[in-house]
A = this chain, B = another copy of it.
Amino acid sequence: MGSMSNVPATAALPRRDQIRKEAARLFAARGFLGVGVDEIGKAVGISGPGLYRHFAGKDAMLADLLVGISERLLEEGRRRAGDRTGDDAGAQGVLDALISGHVDFALDDRDLITLHDRELLHLKEEDRRRVRRLQRGYLELWVEVVRQALPALAGPDEEPVARAAVHAVFGLLNSTPHSLGPNVAQGEWAGLPRDSMAALLHSLAQGAFAAAARSAGKPGAA
């Protein structure tokens, strides 16, 4: 193996992680097909095909990023849900924990959240299935928690409603990094401090779920 310890601190990250970070940034900015390998190489200080010492190919980089974020989302989601499952009064608290976790991802890993529902189609069939399975597991986790937290959505007829509501809330939470992107001023998100933005997103998600519960079972069109 290579050097075992003592990273020089000028390059605090191992090459592979450095490539991940820059590739995610570039893919999010210009799209997977819009970025060339030479560009990724230049971003990490090596040039062009040197990347092939660390990844099998450009596709493999994207797959690594999407599988990684999907696994982290599901893992963290399970961790937060697993703390206290099954009891009744805590269900709202579990839902809040899920929301908080997702908001943190959306605000702190903007590039990956953007990629994870934007570039899925550029994966090879096998990787795409893998990512979709992870995403589906994450969605099911949310659906279960939502149906426990909001009894109006617990009935079997309301299952599609709960599922669609979770989809929609994901869209709500994920869209913010995308639309409010490039203002880099320390901790400022479109004029709001990071924590205020997090609290706002949390409230919006809560409010959306509450409205879904309130309107469940009503046939009325708009």
Which residues of A pack against B, CB within 8 Å? 29-31, 33-34, 96, 99-100, 103, 117-118, 121-122, 159-161, 163-165, 167-176, 178-180, 189-192, 195-212, 214-215, 218-222
Chain B residues with CB below 8 A from A165, complex form: 200, 204
CB pair B199–A220 under 8 Å, yes or no, is yes
CB pair B214–A207 under 8 Å, yes or no, is yes
User: Shortest distance in angstroms between A189's beta carbon and chain B's nearest beta carbon?
Assistant: 7
What is the chain B residue whose CB lies nearest that of A207?
B211
Q: How far is the CA of A91 from the CA of B208 in the complex (A)?
A: 20
Report which residue of A29, A199, A207 has the largest number of chain B beta carbons within 10 angstroms of its beta carbon: A207
Q: How far is the CA of A209 from the CA of B211 in the complex (A)?
A: 10
**Given contacts A103-B222, A121-B31, A221-B195, is CB(A200)–CB(B179) below 8 Å?**
no
Chain B residues with CB below 8 A from A30, complex form: 121
CB pair B212–A211 under 8 Å, yes or no, is no
**Given contacts A164-B176, A198-B222, is CB(A211)–CB(B203) below 8 Å?**
yes
CB pair A179–B198 under 8 Å, yes or no, is no
What is the chain B residue whose CB lies nearest that of A29?
B121
CB pair A180–B164 under 8 Å, yes or no, is yes
User: Shortest distance in angstroms between A86's beta carbon and chain B's nearest beta carbon?
Assistant: 23
CB pair A179–B167 under 8 Å, yes or no, is yes
CB pair A202–B190 under 8 Å, yes or no, is no
CB pair A208–B204 under 8 Å, yes or no, is yes
Of the candidates B168, B206, B214, the one whose C-beta lies within 8 Å of that of A175 is B168
